[in-house]
Amino acid sequence: GEDVEQSLFLSVREGDSSVINCTYTDSSSTYLYWYKQEPGAGLQLLTYIFSNMDMKQDQRLTVLLNKKDKHLSLRIADTQTGDSAIYFCAGAAMNRDDKIIFGKGTRLHILP
């Protein structure tokens, strides 16, 4: 089955770029997602990328996908205090009936 791995913590200074990394095992994953969870709240979809793409940019967010290495990253430019949250990498595959498998999440801490 699918396994999604990501580091648990990341500290970044305000104004710097944050890069959150993720690796996955199922090469048939068709959609890959980044969700954000703020304290005391549920997860919200931040952005997603199809497996036939290698990059997607959306304002301060850049997603890079390396299919060969099964590596996904999320870059947040000009990190702000409001970006402090847990970021979840997730993947879905048609051979799993599109069931979405989540990583354990990376807690992003912003330093002043």
Partner 1 sequence: DAGVIQSPRHEVTEMGQEVTLRCKPISGHDYLFWYRQTMMRGLELLIYFNNNVPIDDSGMPEDRFSAKMPNASFSTLKIQPSEPRDSAVYFCASSLERSGHGELFFGEGSRLTVL
Residue of the chain from 12, 103, 108, 110 that contacts partner 1 (CB under 8 A): 103
**Whether the Cβ atoms of residue 84 and residue 109 lie closer than 8 Å to each other:** yes
Kindly tell me which residue out of 20, 29, 105, 108 binds partner 1, with binding defined by CB under 8 A. 105
Site pattern 21..60 for partner 1 (x: CB under 8 A):
----------x-x-x----xxxxxx--x------------
Please tell me whether residue 52 adopts helix, strand or coil conformation: coil
Which long-range contacts (C-beta less than 8 Å, at least 24 apart) are formed by 62-68?
A: 63/32, 63/34, 65/32, 67/27
Min dist CB 12 to partner 1, Å, is 22
Query: Would you give the distance in Å from CA 68 to the centre of its chain?
Result: 17
Task: Count residues binding partner 1 (CB under 8 A).
Answer: 21
Q: Which of 63, 101, 108, 110 binds partner 1 (CB under 8 A)?
A: 101
Which ranges in the chain belong to alpha helices (H)? none
Summarize as ranges the residues that interact with partner 1 (CB under 8 A): 31, 33, 35, 40-45, 48, 88, 92, 97-105
